[in-house]
Amino acid sequence: MQRILFIMCSLLAFAAPAASAQQPVFDTHVHLRDGEASLREYRADVAKSGAALSGLAAMWFGGPHQALQGQLDKVRAGNDSIIALAAKHADVVPVATVHPYDGQAALDEVTRVAARGVRVLKIHPHTQRFDAADPRVLALVRHAGASGMAVLMDNANILPGDSERLFNLALQAPKTKFIFAHIGGMNFRFWNILALARTADGLFANNIHFEVSGAVVLAADSPIEDEFVWTLRNVGIDQVMLGSDYPQMGLGQAADALERLDLTDDEKAKIRSGNARKLFGR
């Protein structure tokens, strides 16, 4: 009898990861640099991992050679390409970009893509080579917020003072919703300050969301896992979303790492898909 119970428990333990892998996942960070071809490759990678995809936020640009300042024709064409891709695939949320230093032209492009239904703008201080504290960045994110767009920004702490600058930016643009990708990387500890910021009258508009690609993979089953989970709860589970940062990393890798964190099933469900679907109106 004991042997039978042992075998049954072993089988249940073996089946658990496969079952969890079938929970729907909304991937909030996908680079599709070659349109339909990239999307096919991405879907094949997701299927191979066993993850169940419920949607994805997709951008057309990325990488060290995509600064894009002054390349207005390329920016418009790229934005139009991701809008067209999303029109053909109901599960794709299009993510546009501009370069903040293009000034009024960048603001005009935000207005144009917002009118076409785009609800997410991605800008990247490191690869686009701009300073998040520059007044042109503040003008851009305020305009994006006023146009009904959330602003997705890289927050892997590749640049010194990354999280601090982004926090100040969010404080100065309280009507704009931000999504900070990678939740600060290995500097995720900084974001515990939000638990205190919420206690200060009139300081913080609770307008910061986080995407945890990369960081969740490093944290799962590591010496810092407990502190990472503590941070997710301090910033607010309702503010946290899962992403892959494909093609750098796969969705299956991120989903598996999330499952290994010591979070409740309800918390995992919100991070896996619920929060993103709510933010993106899906």
Tell me the CATH number at 40.
Answer: 3.20.20.140
Q: Is residue 4 part of a domain?
A: no
Domain count within the chain: 1
Q: Is residue 6 part of a domain?
A: no
Q: What is the mean pLDDT of residues 200-207?
A: 95
Q: Is residue 186 part of a domain?
A: yes
Tell me how far apart the alpha carbons of residues 196 and 158 are, in angstroms, rounded to a whole number.
25
Sheet holding 120-123, edge to edge: 24-31, 52-59, 92-96, 120-123, 150-154, 178-181, 208-211, 240-241
Q: Is residue 162 part of a domain?
A: yes
Q: Is residue 8 part of a domain?
A: no
Q: Are 54 and 91 in contact (CB under 8 A)?
A: yes
Q: Is residue 177 part of a domain?
A: yes
| pLDDT tens string 25-68 | 999 999 999 999 999 999 999 999 999 999 999 999 876 657 88
Q: At what angle do helices 251-260 and 2-21 cross, to 10 degrees?
A: 130
Q: Is residue 17 part of a domain?
A: no
Can you give the pTM of this predicted structure? 0.90
**Looking at 132-207, which runs of residues are DSSP E strands?**
150-154, 178-181
Q: Are 138 and 169 in contact (CB under 8 A)?
A: yes
| pLDDT tens string 143-162 | 999 999 999 999 999 989 99
Q: Is residue 37 part of a domain?
A: yes
Per the structure, the complete domain to which residue 207 belongs is given by 23-279
| pLDDT tens string 93-117 | 999 999 999 999 999 999 999 999 9
